[in-house]
Amino acid sequence: MAPRIVSVGTAVPATRVTQERVRELFTAQPGADRLAQRRIRAAFDAAAIETRHTVIAELGDGFPIGSTSGFLGQDGVLRMPTTGTRNDAYVRLAPPLSAEAARAAMTDAAAEASAITHVITVSCTGFFAPGPDYRLVRDLGLPATVERYHLGFIGCAAALPALRLAARICAAQPEAVVLVVCAELCSLHLTTSTDPQQIVAASVFADGAAAAVVTADPGIGGGGGLELDAFATALTSEGEDDMVWRIGDHGFEMVLSAEVPRIIGREIRGAVDRFLEGSPPPDAWAVHPGGRSVLDRVESGLELDPASLATSRAVLRDYGNMSSATVLFILRELLHDEAVGEGARIAGLAFGPGLTVESALMTRRMPRTAVVALDVEELAAVAAPGVSA
């Protein structure tokens, strides 16, 4: 059987913030002059985001007024913690979120801890060693012999390379059961700035984790899921300086220029045409929502029906851009979408620094029990064509 995603589990921090709440917090910062305030309002209002989740509890509406923490002072002024302080928070808060998403995926796949043979972790928002892969083995009680890999600092596109690695492992070892976990705490790197690129970053990024169980074993998940048919990587002809992720003294610094959507719009058609050459058009799309303008450019560049990106836009609206975890949130929705039936072809796209375009082609397979149930219903309809339920 082909390697496939059997299940996807997700997890988000308890603190849920509205776009308006964060927008007003940023416009109220001491360094925000009139021009900066206009830019902040424009960026936040155009993001097509309603809510996001964050590990920074004091950003939430319910945080006690006058309380203080490492990120927000009693006067409502955002602090500028050092990178070390931010990373300490990542070390403390990322592993529990990873474990929560992983448990959800394993439960959905009915995969016991003893069945997991490989772990692939993904993150670009923090570092430590022994790392996220080690912590996951310990926290979930996985066998000590599990083979572990960590894909770090790749950025928003990293989930698809992780799935590609999982598919390669399963193709070589059909009995393998691979747990892929992406966990990103982007809000730990929030900074107050009048720089337009930092304002855009603050308006879209959020926290979340997602996990997928990948295997070629037909005994896991009843044979259903998303078959991983093909992958591709492409570099755009320009954009090396337009999407950049660097480590600064006061957090990781995102460079996200206004050219990013335009570059994607110009080059997405060529990248996708090369990838899908000879294949029928996909029935569904899972496109990483780097922002509303990115989705708009993909939609126009590929001449897609607006409904094609409805799931990607819904995830952006409800969760924001959770970096690498986001595309797995979209795949989870498609796995549970009754309109995406047996044999449906799904194209996945994600974008990272470089600019890098990662692509995946998947086929929906229904669990055997679901297929049998459909066959019975079809036979009943043929046997009694004049009888309606």
Per-residue pLDDT of the chain (389 residues; tens, 9 = 90+): 899 999 999 999 999 999 999 999 999 999 899 999 999 999 999 999 999 999 999 888 765 554 556 788 878 888 899 999 999 999 999 999 999 999 999 999 999 999 999 999 999 999 999 999 999 999 999 999 999 999 999 999 999 999 999 999 999 999 999 999 999 999 999 988 888 888 999 999 999 999 999 999 999 988 899 999 999 999 999 999 999 999 999 999 988 888 999 999 999 999 999 999 989 999 999 999 999 999 999 999 999 999 999 999 999 999 999 999 999 999 999 999 999 999 999 999 999 999 999 999 999 999 976 555 445 555 555 555 554 43
Catalytic residues: 156
Minimal CA–CA distance to 329: which of 204, 210, 212? 210
Domain 225-365 annotated CATH 3.40.47.10: yes
Q: Where in the chain is the domain with CATH 3.40.47.10?
A: 4-215, 225-365
User: What pLDDT sits at residue 388?
Assistant: 41
Q: Is 132 exposed, middle or buried (0-12, 13-18, 19+ CB in 10 A)?
A: buried
Q: Considering the domain 4-215 in this protein, what is its CATH number?
A: 3.40.47.10
Q: Could you tell me what percentage of the chain is helix, strand and coil, using 3-state DSSP and rounding each to the nearest 5?
A: 40, 25, 35
Phi and psi angles of residue 50, each rounded to the nearest 5 degrees, phi first: -105, -40
User: What angle (nearest 5°) sits at the alpha carbon of residue 113, between those of residues 152 and 321?
Assistant: 35
Separation CA 298–CA 282 (nearest Å): 14
Buried b (16+ CB within 10 A) or exposed e, 136-162: bbebbebeeebebbbbeebbbbbbbbb
Give yes or no for a contact between 304 and 285, defined as CB atoms under 8 angstroms apart. yes
Which DSSP letter does residue 371 get? H
